[in-house]
Amino acid sequence: MPRDAQRSRVYAAEQFVRTLFDRAAERGTRAVDFFGAQLTLPPEARFASTDSVRDYVDDVLALPSVRSRWPAAEPLTVRARRGVTAAHYEYDGGVATMAVPDRQSTWALRELVVLHEVAHHLCRCEPPHGPDFVAAFCELTETVMGPEVGHVLRVTYAKEGVR
């Protein structure tokens, strides 16, 4: 298995993007100055429970644009995770599962984190955070959330040295 060499850079870039969304929400305006360009970010979905994440994931995987781009996408099970430090995706014995913490922490109950895990499902590649995954995540966020989000991710990934 190839080493997941850019994992920390991917996570750092995505943390920057989540912070950008958080600050826009705190200011009550979706307009942001992003490296000299004025962008309007879409609202980011927040989820109240594992059940609401499950419904969202089912809806995303049923989108015609997602079905046509990833026609082999299988169903994805969503379950609660006991730990609060990470969400994760696993594929074991032909069953795809996303686990999200939902008890003591709600940081993972947000659209960007959920779509990150869905991208792992749509692109089961090695290394897990390599160029194929990055491309799939950018394309998925652009399809689901809008072209501004795909652009922000691509620029931030490039700034962090992610390929």
Q: What is the pTM of this model?
A: 0.95
- Helix or strand or coil: residue 92? strand
Q: Which residue has the higher pLDDT, 85 or 42?
A: 42
Q: Which pLDDT score, from 0 to 100, does residue 67 have?
A: 97
Segment (H or E) for 32? strand 31-34
Mean local confidence (pLDDT), 14-40: 94
So what's the pLDDT on residue 107?
Answer: 79
Percent of the chain residues topping a pLDDT of 90: 87
85 pLDDT above the threshold of 80 = no
Question: Any residues with CB less than 8 A from the CB of 69 and at least 6 apart, and which?
Answer: 139, 143
Reply yes or no on whether the pLDDT at 40 is more than 90.
yes
Tell me whether residue 2 is in a domain. no
Q: Is residue 1 part of a domain?
A: no
Split into its structural domains, the chain has a count of 1
> What pLDDT is recorded for position 108?
86
**Residue 138's domain spans which residues?**
7-160
114 conformational bin, left if phi > 0, alpha if psi -120 to 50, beta if neither = alpha
Q: Is residue 61 part of a domain?
A: yes
- Please state, rounded to an integer, the average pLDDT across all residues of the chain: 94
Report pLDDT digits (tens) over 90-147.
999 999 999 998 776 677 899 999 999 999 999 999 999 999 999 999 999 999 999 9
pLDDT over 70, % of the chain: 98
Q: Which helix (H) or strand (E) holds 101?
A: strand 95-101
Residue 65 lies in a domain: yes
Helix (H) / strand (E) element for 115: namely helix 111-122
